[in-house]
């Protein structure tokens, strides 16, 4: 299997669908927004984007199954699976905030082997494949070299329906507000991870996420030289609904902070 070729084909697919999403932003009406749950929204743009993506992905690798956000009826394969978020940052999208993305990963069994994140508005395409390095628009990218949490810029995402662990989450946030260069919240976990990969952020943490939010970004961070885990330090972050991603320099300190606060 030529993972480099597959990844670049997926990136091209993302370019086409990103154009569609940008064009539809000006056509979206309030009546087009539907609720899937508490503070969880979907539009015809999410659904149409997913259909367009899956059509191309099935052409690229016909044997792969589908794990997709907007339609849980697609069949999952025992070997290869596409993990798809057709519009990560829907809340931003429906409010006209120009930061949202497409996230596509390819998994072999339980391992992510390729990933693409398209930052729709800035025309930035982040991608990586196993043992192939990480790239943005054709140029190699790497995580930052920051060595201390106190010198770092961290990203996070606020929980919007699962508040069971809100207290330890806020304790971490409070510590970071007092002991870092600051904390940013963009509204797209896929973009947050891509920004860790290219060194714009030094680290990212969030809980309550789904596989399609993190799978692509995680391999891009890893291939850019970073580290990714769940809150305990294990590798169960794709389906574990929690993730820590950062450079190697702050890794031990950042993870220890999260372990300490979430285990108190």
Residue ranges covered by each domain of the chain: 3-140, 149-263
pLDDT of residue 40: 60
Contact (CB, 8 A) for 87 and 97: no
pLDDT of residue 186: 96
* 35 has pLDDT over 80: no
DSSP bridge partners of 209: none
pLDDT of residue 75: 75
What pTM did the predictor assign? Answer: 0.93
* Cα gap 238→185, rounded to integer Å: 20
Contact (CB, 8 A) for 113 and 185: no
- For all residues of the chain together, what is the average pLDDT? 93
Contact (CB, 8 A) for 197 and 220: yes
CATH of 149-263, one of 3.40.50.300, 3.50.50.60, 1.10.1270.20, 3.40.190.80: 3.40.190.80
* Cα gap 132→194, rounded to integer Å: 16
Counting every residue written for the chain, the total comes to 264
For 3-140, CATH number? 3.30.540.10
């Amino acid at each position: 299997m030529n993972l480099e070729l597959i990844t670049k084909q997926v990136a091209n697919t993302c370019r086409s669908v990103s154009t569609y999403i940008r064009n539809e932003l000006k056509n979206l009406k309030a009546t087009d927004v539907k609720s899937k749950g508490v503070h969880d929204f979907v539009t015809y743009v999410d659904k149409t984007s997913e259909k367009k993506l899956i059509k191309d992905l099935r052409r690229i690798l016909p044997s792969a199954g589908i794990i997709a956000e907007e339609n849980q009826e697609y069949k999952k394969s025992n070997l290869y699976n596409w993990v798809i978020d057709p519009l990560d940052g829907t809340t931003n999208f429906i409010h006209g905030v120009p930061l949202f993305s497409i996230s596509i990963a390819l998994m072999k069994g339980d391992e992510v082997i390729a990933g693409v994140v398209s930052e729709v508005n800035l025309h930035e395409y982040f991608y990586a494949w196993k043992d192939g390095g990480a790239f943005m628009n054709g140029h190699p990218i790497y995580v930052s070299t920051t060595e201390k949490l106190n010198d770092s810029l961290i990203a996070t995402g606020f929980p919007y329906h699962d508040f069971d662990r809100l207290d330890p989450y806020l304790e971490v946030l409070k510590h970071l507000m007092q002991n870092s260069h600051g904390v940013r919240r963009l509204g797209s976990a896929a973009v947050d991870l891509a920004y860790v990969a290219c060194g714009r952020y030094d680290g990212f943490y969030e809980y309550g996420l789904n596989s399609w939010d993190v799978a692509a970004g995680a391999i891009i961070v890893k291939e850019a030289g970073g580290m990714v885990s769940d809150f305990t330090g294990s590798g169960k972050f794709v389906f574990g609904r929690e993730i820590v991603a950062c450079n190697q320099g702050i890794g031990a300190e950042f993870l220890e902070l999260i372990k300490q606060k979430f285990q108190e």
